Amino acid sequence: MPLSDKKVIVTGGPTYEFLDPVRFISNRSSGKMGKALADESFKRAREIVFIHGPMHKSLLAGIEYRTVAVESTREMLDAVLVELTPDSVLIMAAAPADYRPAEKSLTKIKKKEDELIVRFVKNPDILKTVAEIRSTQFPLRNIFLVGFAAETNDIENYAKNKMREKDLDIICVNDVGKPDAGFGVDTNIVTIFTRWGDRYELPLLSKQEVASRILDCVEKGIECKGEKFLP
């Protein structure tokens, strides 16, 4: 099995971007999709690490593999870079915040004016950063990259653009327009697109089953990567 000699790095959950010591911006990711992928990788891979944003404690109970807890997108990037090895598969199921407040107040912001205007600055893109490292650092050229996208319409176009833009081997698109798919729930509806031209439209499945199908694709991709699509 191609994953049995690989290290799999899975990210999951949201990130928090703080405005002051008690307030932050975030999103509705629960970390369930990432956790399902980490559980499934634990069964198949040589090594697994789950790097996660803030998640409910009950979801992390009893885990038998290594986990790294982070809060912000920049912390998630740093954690991913620390874990990268030449044989890594990086699966980015996390929903890292694209922007953060330009300044974080050291003390709680007090209610004064009728309006509070916050300026945001862009966070680093974790997948793009790793893709760049892969293309410029020869020993890391075999890193395998899997991204996610949350879309409601025109799935194929958005997916293919994102796959090109982030130089991914596989992109998994959640149909978040449907009630049982995407954020927070235990099920998902995913279409998988691969760099080598495959497309798998999965029905409504548990996140565990979706994770298993994604890892089947990763294993197939690793098997033929050497021959067909080495960057």
Residue 186 backbone phi and psi in degrees, to 5: -90, -5
94 lines the binding site for ligand PMT (CB under 6 A): yes
33 binds ligand PMT (CB under 6 A): yes
Q: Any contact of residue 79 with ligand PMT (CB under 6 A)?
A: no
Is 27 labeled as catalytic in the residue annotation?
yes
Q: Which of 42, 183, 196, 200 binds ligand PMT (CB under 6 A)?
A: 183
Give least dist CB 113 to ligand PMT, A.
31
Phi-psi region of 193 (alpha: psi -120 to 50; beta: other; left: phi over 0): beta
Cβ(34)–Cβ(65) under 8 Å? no
What is the per-residue binding string for ligand PMT in 128-167, x denoting contact by CB under 6 A?
-------------------xxxx-----------------
User: End-to-end alpha-carbon separation of the chain, Å?
Assistant: 23
Q: With CB under 6 A as the contact rule, which of the stretches 2-10, 104-112, 122-130, 195-203 interacts with ligand PMT?
A: 122-130
What are the C-alpha distances in Å from 2 to residues 15, 46, 210?
31, 10, 19
Asked whether the beta carbons of 112 and 27 are under 8 A apart, the reply is no
Residue 123 as a binder of ligand PMT (CB under 6 A): the answer is yes
Going from the C-alpha of 72 to that of each of 22, 90, 98, 145, 184, the distances in angstroms are 14, 18, 10, 21, 19
User: What residues act catalytically?
Assistant: 27
Write out the residues near ligand PMT by the rule CB under 6 A.
12-13, 29-33, 73, 92-96, 98, 123, 125-127, 147-150, 174, 182-184
